């Protein structure tokens, strides 16, 4: 994704999994023109579960996530979350990148300070920046897929191809969907909290007697692949790279929120909807936060 980032420390990952057709939890692959608005509403309600509007309920996980292919492990040594067991409680995640379905992709860059401001603001509404482990599980599904839409292989044309200048609004590509029904993971990378489960091996890899050689100390990571495959990190569900405070921002990165299971109060839901609407109406993008 970022050809100019080659000097950055990073990390990637991949996985072995099962065919989506064997476990069609999401809605991708439905025949065009056959679903009514009621069908769509029912499907979205099923995905939402015990979560706020616009989010998807992700079930608990006790199982493996990470790259298990020896060839890819060697190719992206130090850039991958190596296959191991994870334990995650159920959680809610935005189905689409911020600011949400049908909205234009933001055209200004994200950097450390901007992400911190955004995380603080959404925290006022009971939401937070997702962890790397949560993003991995939401994208890879219960069977640890390497790509959101395929067990092993990158498939051209299923997601928005323009990570820098997307040609269509967020959510346009129904086929760009994970096994849990979360969309648009393979368009832009996503800022996340580098949690202990996803970050243990990574921090150990970059640790020296002078400290951890990760910008910002590894508090945040920029997770995931993109529509562009010729990147300097593993360009799939598990690629990670890092920036610290003061590093330049990049347009082809995104944020999405996670939250604990449960419905917000009507007041909180209304306030968050107003926050998103104001963000879109301002036309200033993340610079206006």
pLDDT (tens digit, 9 = 90+) per residue, 120-142? 999 999 999 999 999 999 999 99
Percent of the chain with pLDDT over 70: 84
Average pLDDT in the 32-36 region? 45
In a domain, 35, yes or no: no
Asked if 69 and 14 touch (Cβ cutoff 8 Å), the reply is: yes
In a domain, 261, yes or no: no
Least confident among 33-37, 121-125, 136-140, 193-197:
33-37
In a domain, 252, yes or no: no
In a domain, 116, yes or no: yes
DSSP label at 218? G
Average pLDDT in the 209-229 region? 81
242 class by beta-carbon count within 10 Å (0-12 exposed, 13-18 middle, 19+ buried): buried
Average pLDDT in the 181-198 region? 95
In a domain, 64, yes or no: yes
pLDDT at 250 over 60: yes
Token couple for 122: 């959404």
pLDDT at 79 over 90: no
Helix, strand or coil, per DSSP, at residue 120? helix
In a domain, 161, yes or no: yes
> Average pLDDT over the chain, rounded to whole?
86
Task: Give how many domains the chain has, as a whole number.
Answer: 1
Average pLDDT in the 239-266 region? 94
How far apart (Å, rounded) are the C-alpha atoms in residues 93 and 16?
23
pLDDT (tens digit, 9 = 90+) per residue, 137-157? 999 999 999 999 999 999 999
Backbone φ and ψ for 280, nearest 5 degrees, come out as -70, -45
More confident residue, 231 or 83: 83
Q: Is the pTM of this model over 0.75?
A: yes
In a domain, 9, yes or no: yes
- Residue 240 domain boundaries: 3-23+46-228+235-246+268-283
Q: Output the pLDDT for position 207.
A: 78
In a domain, 189, yes or no: yes
């Amino acid at each position: 994704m970022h050809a100019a980032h080659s000097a950055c420390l990073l990390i990637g990952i991949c996985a072995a999994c099962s065919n989506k057709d064997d476990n069609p939890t999401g809605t991708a692959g439905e025949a065009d023109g056959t679903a009514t608005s009621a069908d769509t509403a029912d499907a979205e309600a099923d995905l939402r579960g015990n979560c706020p509007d616009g989010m998807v309920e992700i079930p608990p996980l006790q199982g493996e996530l990470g790259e298990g292919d020896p060839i890819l492990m060697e190719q992206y040594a130090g850039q991958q979350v190596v296959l191991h067991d994870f334990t995650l409680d159920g959680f809610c995640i935005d189905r689409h990148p911020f600011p949400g379905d049908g909205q234009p992709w933001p055209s200004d860059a994200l950097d450390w300070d901007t992400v911190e401001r955004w995380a603080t603001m959404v925290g006022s509404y009971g939401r937070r920046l997702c962890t790397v482990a949560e993003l991995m599980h939401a994208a890879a599904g219960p069977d640890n897929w390497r790509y959101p839409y395929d067990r092993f292989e990158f498939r051209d044309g299923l997601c928005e191809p323009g990570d820098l200048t997307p040609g269509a609004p967020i959510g346009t590509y129904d086929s760009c969907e994970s096994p849990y029904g979360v969309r648009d993971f393979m368009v832009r990378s996503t800022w996340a909290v580098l949690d202990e489960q996803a970050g243990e091996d990574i921090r150990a890899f970059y640790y020296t007697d002078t400290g951890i050689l990760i910008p910002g100390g590894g508090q945040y990571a920029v997770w995931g692949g993109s529509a562009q495959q010729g990147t300097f990190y593993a360009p799939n569900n598990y690629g990670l790279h890092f920036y610290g405070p003061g590093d330049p921002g990049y347009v082809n990165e995104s944020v999405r929120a996670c939250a604990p299971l449960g419905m917000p109060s009507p007041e909180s839901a209304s306030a968050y909807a107003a926050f998103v609407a104001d963000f879109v109406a301002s036309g200033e993008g993340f610079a206006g936060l």
